[in-house]
A and B are shown apart, each in its own frame.
Chain A
Amino acid sequence: MKVVVNWTRCEGNGACMVEAPAIFDLDDKDMLIVLDETPPETERQRLQDAVASCPRRALSIED
């Protein structure tokens, strides 16, 4: 399971880090940081919620 970010799309709205704090964070300029690019299977639900919560649809999952 791999996290895919559309970097020209992401605007640092921060919705994903609320849903999956172990995977996403924002730096002090609100640039997205992917803490874990290949999260464990136990994180799948949280990652799916994060993908669904992104208002710009900048996230996807690659299996």
Chain B
Amino acid sequence: MLQDDAVRPVDYDPFAFEVMRNPLPFYKELRDRYPVYYIERYDAFAFSRFADVMAMYDSEARFHTQEGTLVDKTAIAERRRGLPAPMAYDPLPIIGAIQPPYYEEIRQAIGRRLRPRSVAALEADVRARTRALLDALVPRGGFDVVKEFAGIVASGTVCRMCGIPVERAAEVLAAVNFATAQDPVKGGFPPNWQENRERLLSICREAVADRLAGDIPDGDNPIDGLADYRLDGRALKPGEIAMVISSIVLGGSETLPKVIACGLMELERQPEARREILSDLPTNSAIAFEEMLRFCAPAQWFMRTVREAVTIAGQRIEPGQRVLALIASANRDEREFENPDTFVWNREIRRQLSFGQGLHFCIGVHLARLEGRVIIEELLARMPDYRITDAVRTPSSFQWGYTSATITKQDIPA
């Protein structure tokens, strides 16, 4: 066994089909044997342990976001030594590459509506939409828990927030999925990915135009904050505002339904856990959702560019080289979590990395927790026993999660 391992070291490539199909066995081997793994073909390093990922997030000057936090297969294949040239801010670059102070200013401009009290005020609306959906779906017998239920709740909420008619939630969700679709075999975004964003961008441009024309009466819209914002004295153009809004719509629609589907599949296998959750559904739904976040969060990694040379675990990393922080691996690190590959609905979680940390910490954190809790609560109240079939976990180098799954109500046996 040892000898076999010695001649056949792990070959980790986030864009390899075998990895995109199921990265978890690769992560385990990386954590145990190569915590700072050199990916020769990209001249990049992968951090797989919780402590190293956390330390990376905490060293913002050393691990920089100037090239953005996500990278395409073709871009990462271009080797880099030294630092990329500083960018101009006219037009505004992709949100992931914007640097402080502008990045912080833009977050402050959009973030008021996402603070805890503002989000708590959305609960009645989220719950009402969740119940109305279940009223329509449950009598049908079976429905798609990703595309027809959790995804619609999530995209409906960002629609409401950004002044897009809630009736367009399904269209928005489809536009988001179209925009983020990756090549499931070769990995990465297709060459025409910018065209694929156009549907989503045009919905956002409409919302921005309506809002700026005063046609959306609803108060406290993130579009207002961006319209009032001045970047070094310059007002953002409507197209730039729409681009930032599209990131919010995308982040708010894409991830949550995948977490829910995966979590429900784990609970389906654990009737005892379901009974425990049902004993105090409002409280326990929030607790169970935390484990779903740890166990299921679909974002696999984020990238940083190294700005100061550093040696970690015996590996020297030079300025300009890239680091991939494998957050999905960190959340299953045996050094941080006991029996990490077991779903324990009420596990005590002191900290986890599903929302990131520091500069790019997920701005929708409170919204995600609200929606996760309400969705689990309302669904289990209606369907305490259910079966999930036809679950599709599309191979992906980045957002690895269920894109479709049918849930069917089961009658409780007498």
Which residues of chain A have a CB within 8 Å of any CB of chain B? 8-9, 11-14, 26, 28-30, 55-57
Q: With A55-B365, A57-B58 given, is the CB distance from A13 to B116 under 8 Å?
A: yes
Q: With A55-B355, A55-B361, A56-B358 given, is the CB distance from A9 to B116 under 8 Å?
A: no
Q: With A11-B363, A55-B361, A55-B365 given, is the CB distance from A28 to B117 under 8 Å?
A: yes
| Given A30-B118, A55-B355, 16 additional A-B pairs, CB 8 A | A8-B100, A8-B101, A8-B105, A8-B108, A11-B107, A11-B111, A12-B115, A13-B365, A26-B116, A28-B117, A29-B112, A30-B115, A30-B116, A55-B357, A55-B361, A55-B365
Interface: B198 (CB within 8 A): no
Cα A23 to Cα B153 in complex, Å, equals 37
Cα A14 to Cα B120 in complex, Å, equals 13
Cα A40 to Cα B105 in complex, Å, equals 33
Q: How many residues of B contact A (CB 8 A)?
A: 24
Cα A22 to Cα B101 in complex, Å, equals 30
Interface: B210 (CB within 8 A): no
Query: For residue A53, which residue of chain B has the nearest CB?
Result: B351
Q: How far is the CB of A59 from chain B (nearest CB, A)?
A: 12
User: From DSSP, what is the main secondary structure of chain A's interface residues?
Assistant: loop
User: From DSSP, what is the main secondary structure of chain B's interface residues?
Assistant: helix
A57 and B105 form a contact (CB under 8 A)? no
A56 and B361 form a contact (CB under 8 A)? yes
Cα A28 to Cα B60 in complex, Å, equals 31
List residues of chain B with CB within 8 A of the CB of A14.
116
Interface: B104 (CB within 8 A): yes
Q: How far is the CB of A37 from chain B (nearest CB, A)?
A: 22
List residues of chain B with CB within 8 A of the CB of A8.
100-101, 104-105, 108
B117 and A30 form a contact (CB under 8 A)? yes
Cα A12 to Cα B112 in complex, Å, equals 9
Cα A28 to Cα B346 in complex, Å, equals 31
Query: For residue A55, which residue of chain B has the nearest CB?
Result: B361
Cα A57 to Cα B107 in complex, Å, equals 15
List residues of chain A with CB within 8 A of the CB of B107.
11
